[in-house]
Structure 1
Amino acid sequence: MLDVVFNASEEILVSSSADPNKLVSDGNSVLKASEKLVSLLVMPTNTTANISFTLESVEGRVFMVGPNVTLDKFPRLDTTNSAVDIDLIGIAKNNSQRSAAVAFLSYSTMENLLKPDFFNTPNDTIKTMMSTVISVTLHKTTNTKLTKPVNFTFKHIRKLVSNGSLSCVYWNISEWIVDGCSVLETNSSYTVCSCVHLSTFALIMQTSRPPENDSLLELLNLVCVIVGLVFFSLALLTFAFCQWRPGVNNVARINICVSLLLAHILFLLTQQFLSFIRPLQVLCAVISGVLHFLFLSGFMWMFIEAVLLFICVKNISQISSKKKREVFSTRFLCAIGYTVPLVVVAMSAAVDPKGSDSEHCWIKMDKDFIWSFLGPVAVILALNMILFVCIIISLNSNLKNLNAEVSQIKQKKIMTFKTMCQFVVLGCSWILGFFINGSKELEIIFLILNSQQGTFIFLVYCVLNNEIRQQYRNFWRAVLPCRIL
């Protein structure tokens, strides 16, 4: 009989309209029918008796105590996602027949009818149901007055947001209210509520509504990223097809372009098709891991570029060519540039295989797991800042020794401009991300600078390189006449 009734209730849940009044009416009907039906399970007993059942949409625990009960303390009633502590023995002692019975029901789909939006609050907040809806009633008990507050333990069925506010609520015919209920304790997994009466209860989280998306900022972000991708591609084509002087080591610059180009493309595609990818949790986790690896490898190559630039400025690179090939060979640098990020990602996955956020296909922001990305990035940025300052000091010292000739002054200006561009190329501008804290101005500067690393690489190493410029001129001289003809 229970199975038939609750299956019928499930049909009501599925077919209910979006009309709030209809939802409230259907919800009250399901609650009333359920409680009446479960009351049929209550039978007289001299000591104790209990009945449990588990169906697809509801779990139930019915417990009865009689005048000859031998228990010193009433046991906790548990279901999969909730539990209740009630002093049923004390309630029974206050009844003339020295008996009492409690029915505890846990509904897994009731939130579809008794929606969290029916919790009216002064502030315009987002309400999220954090628990199953439970119902606790006393049946065939003359005196239903509680001797002690009833405690409910709710297991969180959704992720708790750090800035969310939890409320223990009960259903009052047409709305959720908090009168007589309070939060005793909470953590990331469960919340304990205390109430001075019995009813239908739930746990609702309130979070502030996110600010409306700034369409201008989103457009600026999209344009900047696309421009950056174009210049990443131009820089890679230049590195691949132009002739470079012997001894010029572009391996770090090439790999910065490759890593960040792939990372930005994958990120843009993921966000574009997020609604299709999100249900595929395995694919979402793989994308999260790949993005983690690509961005970390990009920062690792920025560090390698900083080291190579520091060595170049300090003139340490003037060593024997054989030794130089051994220390700074492409294989050695690639091993460092890709192995370190791979180890970090592998260790992160081993520590928490579920470390990806299925909502955004990126690393989870909770449980400090995000520091598997921010930690290495912060270390690399700190080292790059130190190296950048050392480069500036060393370069300034070297430039002071130049004679004040016109050509040398011009060369000095170009060198100074290149050095300042290196601030962005080496990723030092990413430090701004730690200080944005809601500042729209800093966010715009951060967005523009860090989306244009490819632009600065192309500018410094291609446009301002005399030999490369000459090769471009020769190319266009060869191509333009053909177009004219």
Structure 2
Amino acid sequence: MENLLKPDFFNTSDDTIKTMMSTVISATLPKTINTKLTKPVNFTLKHIREFDPSGSLSCVYWNISEWIVDGCSVLETNSSYTVCSCVHLSTFALIMQSSRPPESDSLLDLLNLVCVIVGLVFFSLALLTFALCQWSPGVNNVARINICISLLLAHLLFLLTQQFLSLIRPLQVLCAVISGVLHFLFLSGFVWMFIEAVLLFICVKNLSQISSKKREVLSSGFLCVIGYMVALVVVAVSVGLVPEGYGSEHCWIKRDKGFIWSFLGPVCVILALNMILFINIFINLNSTLKKLNAEVSQMKQTKTMTFKTLAQFVVLGCSWVLGFFSNGSKELEILFLILNSQQGTFIFLVYCVFNNEVRQQYRKFFRCLWCELKSNTIKRVLKKC
């Protein structure tokens, strides 16, 4: 019946999207001519579609050729069902009115596409640099490499999903799986950012123990288990507790029932822990500088690494904090989009371009490449002669 008596027959003054939220039910009393009941009747309608917390629900009944609300009201509601109260019997249904989404901003969509592609290019360049360049023995790039891998895959999957959203959205299971994978990848990026802060804390702590042969060392295998298992456990628990929490309109985490905090909660905890670690790092570094027990070159390298990691924490972490306040503000939304999409650009600039050792290796590589091209050009000319 809900396919025949469509919600469009519910005439309202507001220009809203009307959604049938329940099956159509009918109730009658035989052998009676009374149209009004002395006591209202209450009935519970189960939601057959996802409830939008920002929408408004109306208990309606069918009157000749349209749905109207006269004599009916919403008594109680939650995300799963609604209790309606009516002073008469008829054919009833539950209709949700929600505001129409704003028209797509083509300029913003183009900006998003360009920014994400640029960010992906620099993520790839950073990964190639971390993998192929020769680094000082004291430099541990495990966390940075895995931050790049996690965020590169997350941004790539997000870009592809948004480009083919019209095809993916009807496939609810696929959409939910994609949102779960995105949850895991973005969260693992934050876990790796925390691991890098821990490694930096251990490095600064070891400066005061430079004469000691025994150093605190965390193996790469152990770090990989921690970096990915923490995010995997959070996603697994989230799926177990609220399996319907994935697969929003944009194939991301749904906001109803507070499920978005399965992502924002761990992010806030990691940001808070990182801030505590950085305060400790600065205190320990300042204390070690005063004692001057460490080599000048190592101290300088550690100071540089500290400021780079702090800058990374600010750019990678605080851009997500900005997302808390971007609702309804186009300026903040654009700023969030640019900062979040250029995380790869920032990592490449800070750890590769601004690193003197890496710049020297870049120069050496481009000189060799130029000599090779020049040599091949000469050989081709000689062959023609």
Q: Deviations over 1:325-345 (max 9, x none)?
A: x63221221121112112222
CA–CA separation in structure 1 for the residues paired with 2:212 and 2:342: 34
3-state DSSP of counterpart to 1:193: strand
**1:65-214 alignment runs, 5 A limit:** 110-138=1-29, 141=32, 146-214=37-105
CA 1:426–1:315: 2 relative to 1, 3 Å: farther
1:442 to 326, 332, 351: 332
Higher RCO (CA 8 Å, separation ≥ 6 residues): 2
Q: Which structure shows the bigger proportion of residues in strand conformation?
A: 1
Counterpart contact for 1:138–1:144, Cα < 8 Å: no
CA 1:274–1:431: 2 relative to 1, 3 Å: same
* Higher Rg: 1
Determine whether 1:245 maps to 2:158: no
Q: Deviations over 1:140-177 (max 9, x none)?
A: 54555544333332111112211221111122223222
Deviation at 1:301, TM superposition (A): 0.3
**1:36-435 alignment runs, 5 A limit:** 110-138=1-29, 141=32, 146-313=37-204, 316=207, 319=210, 323-324=214-215, 327-357=217-247, 359-391=249-281, 418=308, 421-424=311-314, 427-435=317-325
Size of the aligned set, in residue pairs, is 368
3-state DSSP of counterpart to 2:145: helix
Determine whether 1:467 maps to 2:357: yes
Deviation at 1:442, TM superposition (A): 2.4
CA–CA separation in structure 1 for the residues paired with 2:121 and 2:37: 71
Deviation at 1:441, TM superposition (A): 2.5
Q: Deviations over 1:94-119 (max 9, x none)?
A: xxxxxxxxxxxxxxxx2333221221
CA 1:172–1:426: 2 relative to 1, 3 Å: closer
CA 1:143–1:385: 2 relative to 1, 3 Å: closer
TM-score of the aligned structures, taking structure 1 as reference length:
0.68
Percent identity, aligned pairs only, is 83
Aligned residue identity for 1:438: G
CA–CA separation in structure 1 for the residues paired with 2:366 and 2:334: 36
Counterpart contact for 1:168–1:202, Cα < 8 Å: yes
Counterpart contact for 2:271–2:317, Cα < 8 Å: yes
Q: Match of 2:366?
A: 476
Counterpart contact for 2:278–2:310, Cα < 8 Å: no
CA 1:249–1:321: 2 relative to 1, 3 Å: farther
Q: Match of 2:296?
A: none
CA–CA separation in structure 2 for the residues paired with 1:143 and 1:379: 62
3-state DSSP of counterpart to 1:210: coil
**Structure 2 stretches of 5 or more lacking a match?**
293-300, 378-385
3-state DSSP of counterpart to 2:328: coil
Deviation at 1:255, TM superposition (A): 0.3
Counterpart contact for 1:235–1:458, Cα < 8 Å: yes
Q: Deviations over 1:60-85 (max 9, x none)?
A: xxxxxxxxxxxxxxxxxxxxxxxxxx
Single out whichever of 251-260 and 144-153 deviates more from structure 2: 144-153
Q: Match of 2:382?
A: none
**Structure 1 stretches of 5 or more lacking a match?**
1-109, 403-410
CA 1:480–1:114: 2 relative to 1, 3 Å: same
CA 1:332–1:390: 2 relative to 1, 3 Å: same
Aligned residue identity for 2:230: V
Deviation at 1:425, TM superposition (A): 5.2
3-state DSSP of counterpart to 1:112: coil
CA–CA separation in structure 2 for the residues paired with 1:340 and 1:317: 31
Deviation at 1:251, TM superposition (A): 0.4
CA 1:429–1:386: 2 relative to 1, 3 Å: farther
Q: Deviations over 1:23-48 (max 9, x none)?
A: xxxxxxxxxxxxxxxxxxxxxxxxxx
Counterpart contact for 1:384–1:428, Cα < 8 Å: no
Q: CA RMSD in A?
A: 3.2
Counterpart contact for 1:303–1:426, Cα < 8 Å: no
Q: Deviations over 1:403-457 (max 9, x none)?
A: xxxxxxxx9x988974663344552432222233423332222222222221111
Deviation at 1:308, TM superposition (A): 2.2
Deviation at 1:246, TM superposition (A): 1.2
